[in-house]
Amino acid sequence: MFAKILIANRGEIAVRVIRACKEMGILTVAVFSEADRDALHVSLADESVCIGPAAATGSYLNMAAILSAAAVTGAPAIHPGYGLLSENPRFADLCSRCKIKFIGPSADVIRLMGDKDEARRTMREAGVPVVPGSDVVASVGQLREEAGRIGFPLLIKARAGGGGRGIRRVNSEDELERAYLAATAEAGSAFGDGAVYMEKLLEKVKHIEVQLLCDMDGSVVTLGERECSMQRRNQKLIEESPSPAVTPAVREGLLEAAAKAARAVGYEGVGTVEFLLDRDGKFYFMEMNTRLQVEHPVTEMVTGIDLVKWQIRVAAGTPIPFQQSDIKLRGHAIECRINAENPQENFRPCAGKVSLLHVPGGPWVRFDTALYQDYVIPPFYDSMIAKLIVHAPTRAEAIRKMQAALCEMVIEGVDHTGWMQAELIAERAFEDGTYTTDYLSGR
Amino acid sequence: MLTRNLFRRPRNKLEDAGANSMARPEIPGQLYASCPNCKAMNPAEELSRHADVCPKCQHHFRVSARRRIALTADENTFQELWPTLRGVNPIAFPDYDKKLVSAREQSNEVEAVVVGECQIGGIPACLFAMEPSFMMGSMGTAVGEKIARLFEYALEKSLPVVGFCVSGGARMQEGILSLMQMAKTTGAVKRHSDAGNLYVAVLTDPTTGGVTASFAMEGDITISEPGALIGFAGPRVIEQTIRQKLAEGFQRAEFVLEKGFVDMICDRRDLTDRIAGLLKLHRREAQE
């Protein structure tokens, strides 16, 4: 086991990883920007190193500074958390050149799955169903031909895509060329790679993802699915496990497909395979996330498995001692991502001092956050400030518990999405579980 | 505001403490290079892809003679000439022997210039590249001898010469003998030129002193890298002598171009193509 781990992240996920390390007897090194001097993860860690100015490009994305911090503190492993450098193959490469274990899959796997076009092809070859579509489109002639084959409406997507950028919806042939040129230009400027491909647009679908845990010996264990269809502009707001729309037969298919995907690329560590599920129970591979996910706690609640601890253990070479048949999904878990945004003002991000904080409590209520009383939320980073997670034997009871917990949560001084989420989970579409990814668009 | 040491350390022993619990990072050398101009940290591979030009501020890093040759000559075409020719301490200058030993260790070269024959863009040419890490590319008897010989060799074979200059000037530890190299190299360049051969001089940061006063300024075509310091005496010496503030950018390539001492400034990433183009344009009929 690593004696020390550097956490190359901030906010609640840095705190989450530090907590796992403390349980495991691992010393922790926090890195922080000048704006995060007073952040909780800095105090909680055994050592801390300032790595640059407030802007993430100079600090949390500054590979040289982070590697230097690891060298100076003698940390033989780096946990990248999610976002930031977690899916950066160059960083993973640099770590291995410095004899530092990057806690995640190899640079090659990250690179393969980061190329959405290549990932689709790999999955198709491995027998994982993918959304009907094309490979990278090289010319307008090919564009028309392939679009005719796929049928409208369709999506033009960037090969290097992420965060909803470089995506264009095309309803008919007239819009095709313009959307193609726009997507290519946007992808070129956002990712430095203008290559795009097409995918059939599936409407009224659910976003379902499967959690994986794989060790160095090739053992692959799936840990049930998560439903993440409650999204606003491709950003997830509420997640739950299991999904109310997944029948035992569909689940079996999903888990099997996800395991196949992991084996196809020789996956190592924790990862997530995202699928789209249509009304007929058919599902299609969308992408693979080669990191820990924000919504990992719902899986932890229903499986009883600490994903962060297992992620660290398998990275250190510990084989997984349990098998697929040992995994039992118990009860139902729901998570709300609490964002410092004002839902009344088109989700305008909000920063400032938390003048009063009350954390909801009670049995099976979990609150993952880096907030504390009088903390000043800096304006430079992601607006997610907390995750509220509840667990109960049934979905109905979990919704009730979430309702109660959201109403008990007090974060004064900044606007947040908590009350809006309390209203959302009371809506019929959430209660009967029929909501799809487009539920919040048009509001 | 959280105070330090607010939280106590749990008394948990390291779980499953195996052999890898002793592991420590081992940072290899040359992973990053910090830009002396903008201070940006550049990954070594990225810098190398950009021909040692900072991708952020376009600052041209100083490069060794071998790297210069690798950037310029076609792959595997460079044949070094007189690789063992080296300077001695002709006037028994104090500590010069020691200086030579440490310069050789530091630069991995025996002298401050590497000369040879190669192809550039498929065209045969003679090439010399000065070594900045060998006593700042200063010109002693050996450097002058190698350069003079190269021009004589090129004359004999009717080859063009491409030369990369980087130098602090004549090597003071060799006294008047080093100053005599200015005349010697100039004579060789002149004979090479009189026979109708092309000489392209590339001035890189810094090109000063006796080198500027001889072969560096004698090219048929003089190219400079952006921002290179080009002059005879350094700006500080001039400022102290004339007791006047010097103009902004004084002695920099752009300033020197404006005054007509250089023909063009070329980014290092385009330099080889530019030189190859010039060689092609000036190819002698006999070689066709």
- Look at residue A442 in the predicted model and tell me its pLDDT: 65
C-alpha to C-alpha distance for A58 and B132, rounded to whole angstroms: 32
Single out the residue in B41, B61, B81 at which a domain terminates: B61
Q: What is the pLDDT of residues A298-330, one digit of tens each?
A: 999 999 999 999 999 999 999 999 999 999 999
A266: its two tokens:
């020789």
Q: What is the pLDDT of residues A99-155, one digit of tens each?
A: 999 999 999 999 999 888 889 899 999 999 998 888 888 888 888 888 888 888 999
Q: Are residues B93 and B38 in the same domain?
A: no
Domains A4-103 and A132-200 share a fold: no
B32 with A64: Cβ contact below 8 A: yes
Q: Is residue B138 part of a domain?
A: yes
CB-based contacts of B150: which residues, under 8 Å, 6+ apart?
B81, B115, B126, B128, B161
Chain B contact for A24 (CB, 8 A cutoff): yes
Q: Is residue B256 part of a domain?
A: yes
Pick the CATH number of A4-103 from 1.10.260.40, 1.10.540.10, 3.30.1490.20, 3.40.50.20: 3.40.50.20
Residue range of the domain that includes B42: 32-61
How far is the alpha carbon of A129 from chain B, nearest alpha carbon, in Å?
Answer: 38
C-alpha to C-alpha distance for A156 and A137, rounded to whole angstroms: 10
- List C-alpha distances in Å: A189 to A139, A182, A192, A200: 19, 11, 6, 24
Q: Which of residues 364-423 of A touch B (CB under 8 A)?
A: 372, 374
Other C-beta atoms within 10 Å of B264: how many? 12
Single out the residue in B61, B81, B100 at which a domain terminates: B61
Single out the residue in B61, B78, B110 at which a domain terminates: B61
With cut-offs at 50, 70 and 90, classify the pLDDT of residue A91: very high
How far is the alpha carbon of B62 from chain A, nearest alpha carbon, in Å?
Answer: 22
A3 with B27: Cβ contact below 8 A: no
C-alpha to C-alpha distance for A302 and A323, rounded to whole angstroms: 16
Residue of chain B minimizing CA distance to A23? B12
Q: Are residues B136 and B249 in the same domain?
A: yes
C-alpha to C-alpha distance for A399 and A392, rounded to whole angstroms: 9
Report helix angle A173-191 to A140-150, nearest 10: 120
Sheet order of strands, A168-170 included: A133-136, A196-200, A154-158, A168-170
Q: Is residue B24 part of a domain?
A: no
Chain A contact for B8 (CB, 8 A cutoff): no
Q: Are residues B57 and B106 in the same domain?
A: no
- Look at residue B16 in the predicted model and tell me its pLDDT: 83
Q: Are residues B205 and B237 in the same domain?
A: yes
C-alpha to C-alpha distance for A292 and A272, rounded to whole angstroms: 8
C-alpha to C-alpha distance for A289 and A299, rounded to whole angstroms: 15
Q: Give this complex's ipTM.
A: 0.82
Q: What is the pLDDT of residues A270-302, one digit of tens each?
A: 999 999 999 889 999 999 999 999 999 999 999
Number of compact structural domains in chain B: 2
C-alpha to C-alpha distance for B259 and B255, rounded to whole angstroms: 6
- Look at residue A441 in the predicted model and tell me its pLDDT: 86
Chain A contact for B38 (CB, 8 A cutoff): no
What count of CB pairs under 8 Å joins A to B? Answer: 85
Q: Which of A106, A66, A167, A56 is nearest to A290 (CA)?
A: A106
On the question of pLDDT at A368 being above 70, the answer is yes
Chain B contact for A334 (CB, 8 A cutoff): no
Query: Which candidate in A6, A15, A23, A24 is best for mutational testing of the B interface (most B CBs within 10 A)?
Result: A24
Fold topology of A206-431? D-amino Acid Aminotransferase; Chain A, domain 1 (3.30.470)
- Which residues in chain B are contacts of A101 at CB distance < 8 A? 23
Q: Are residues B147 and B43 in the same domain?
A: no
Q: What is the pLDDT of residues A5-28, one digit of tens each?
A: 999 999 999 999 999 999 999 999
Q: Is residue B13 part of a domain?
A: no
A3 with B4: Cβ contact below 8 A: no
Q: What is the pLDDT of residues A158-208, one digit of tens each?
A: 887 766 677 888 998 889 889 898 888 888 887 778 889 898 888 899 999
Mean model confidence pLDDT for chain A: 93
Chain A contact for B12 (CB, 8 A cutoff): yes
pLDDT means per 10 residues, chain B with 288 residues, are 82 83 84 89 90 95 96 97 94 95 95 97 97 96 97 97 96 96 97 97 96 96 96 91 91 95 97 96 70
According to CATH, the superfamily of the domain at A132-200 is ATP-grasp fold, A domain (3.30.1490.20)
Percentage above 90 pLDDT, chain A: 80
Domain ranges of chain A: 4-103, 132-200, 206-431
- Is A291 annotated in the active site? yes
Single-letter residue type at A275? F
On the question of pLDDT at A434 being above 90, the answer is yes
Residue of chain B minimizing CA distance to A21? B14
